[in-house]
Amino acid sequence: MTEEILTQNHPLESCLRTERFPHIWCVGCGLGVALGAFASSLLENKFDLDQMAVISGIGCTGRMAGYLKVDSFHTTHGRAIPFATGLHLANPKLKVVVFSGDGDIVGIGGNHFIHAARRNLDLTVICVNNFIYGMTGGQVAPTTPLGAHTTTTTYGNYEYSFNIPLLAAASGATYVARWTVLDIIKLRKSIQEALNKKGFSVIEVISPCPTLYGRLNRLATGVEMMKFLKEHSLFKREAKLEEAAITDGNQIVVGKFLDIEKPTYLEMYEKSVGGKIKQLKYEKILAGEESCPEC
């Protein structure tokens, strides 16, 4: 017997601001898939949505926070990670997620990305990489592959691109994975792992931008871009950081590159500072045990 599964409501309604739909993303864009995977992962794994905050920067992916029905912050370009840092430290019980684009996180915000990884803050960063600045009309990004055409590399890109998994791992992250938006099941699982990971977790999501990246690089429809990603990505059960670079002619390796244990920023803080505070500075001075340096 068939079961009635049609409902009036969106199945992910409890964690999406459906009143804001339709969203701003283009037909064929992968951002809706990434949003859906995130929302599904939250619901499937019964994360407490009241104890979750999503921070985005600026750009197409920057709109992510605004569609999620959790405490959500749409900050300035590149600054989602430091905003998240303050929020996390003010209330470590929150699960704080930075969901933003490649230009935001490793372009203008690159410095914050490496420093947050270095500190091993207990944050999850989901970086959607579409190889281009989409919102501003298709300019070269720090992730644009060599040779690719953009509106500011009309002769083909001649700048080397960032290798996000290697950058994250080298900077101190404890969990690093990469998926394409075709790897929905694995992406959902990976989001769950990253959210439960103690420490700085990074997921790169390779996503098609047919409107700009595709149109300028002979992959003008969503289907063509999806086919391209399907044909040019390779899942490896034990993906190695050595093969994380996205280079011309090689497959884009997807999978989990790193999953290690390391004390977090707050654990290190507690270990270092916690035991040392026995008496307030002024109490010492008032008790005459220590002289005020300028008295």
Partner 1 sequence: MKAEQVVPAGSFFMSGNEACAEGALAAGCRFFAGYPITPSTEIAEHLAERLPEIGGIFIQMEDEMAAVNAVLGATWGGLKGMTATSGPGFSLMMENIGLAVMTETPCVIVDVQRGGPSTGLATKVGQGDMMQAKWGSHGSYEIIALSPSSPQEFFEQTIKAFNLAEEFRTPVIILADEVVGHMSEKVIFPQSEKLLISSRRFTNLSPADYHPFQANGNGIPEMVKAGDGYRIHVTGSTHDYRGYPYMTAEAQANLIPRLVQKIRGRRNELIDVKEIDCQGAEVLVCSYGITARTSYYAIEQAHSLGIKVGQLKLNVVWPFPEEIIKKWAWQVKAMIVPEINMGQMVLEVERAAAGKCRVVSVPHPGGDIHRPEVILEAIKKSAE
Q: Which residues in this chain contact partner 1 in the complex, by CB under 8 A?
A: 17, 20, 49-51, 53, 55, 63, 65-66, 69-76, 78-79, 81-91, 93-94, 111-112, 115, 273, 277, 280-283, 286, 292, 294-295
Q: Rounded to an integer, what distance in angstroms lies between the CA atom of residue 159 and that of residue 197?
A: 34
User: Which one, 52 or 194, has the nearer CB to partner 1?
Assistant: 52
CA-to-CA distance for 54 and 56, rounded, in angstroms?
A: 7
Backbone angles phi, psi at 91, to 5 degrees: -145, 85
Based on DSSP, count helices (H) and strands (E) in the chain, helices before strands: 11, 10
Dihedral angle of Cα 83, 86, 91, 93, to the nearest 10 degrees? 60
Nearest to 186 by CA among 246, 256, 131: 256
- Shortest distance, CB of residue 195 to partner 1, whole angstroms? 15
In the bound state with partner 1, the residue whose beta carbon lies nearer, of 61 and 157, is 61
d(CA 257, CA 96): 22
Least CB distance to partner 1 at residue 151 (A)? 22
Of the candidates 156, 152, 148, which has an alpha carbon nearest to the alpha carbon of residue 137? 152
Closer residue to partner 1, CB minimum distance, 58 or 206: 58
| Residue 262: strand, helix, or coil | coil
Shortest Å, Cβ 11 to partner 1: 18
Query: Quick one: 261 or 294, whose CB is closer to partner 1?
Result: 294
Nearest CA to 166 out of 257, 277, 278, 67 is that of: 257
User: Which of 17, 198 has the CB closer to partner 1?
Assistant: 17
Tell me the β-bridge partners of 129: 206
- C-beta of 112: minimal distance to partner 1 in Å? 6
What is the closest distance, in whole angstroms, from the C-beta atom of residue 12 to partner 1 in the complex?
A: 14
CB of 92 to partner 1, least distance (A): 9
For partner 1, the closer of residues 70 and 125 by Cβ is: 70
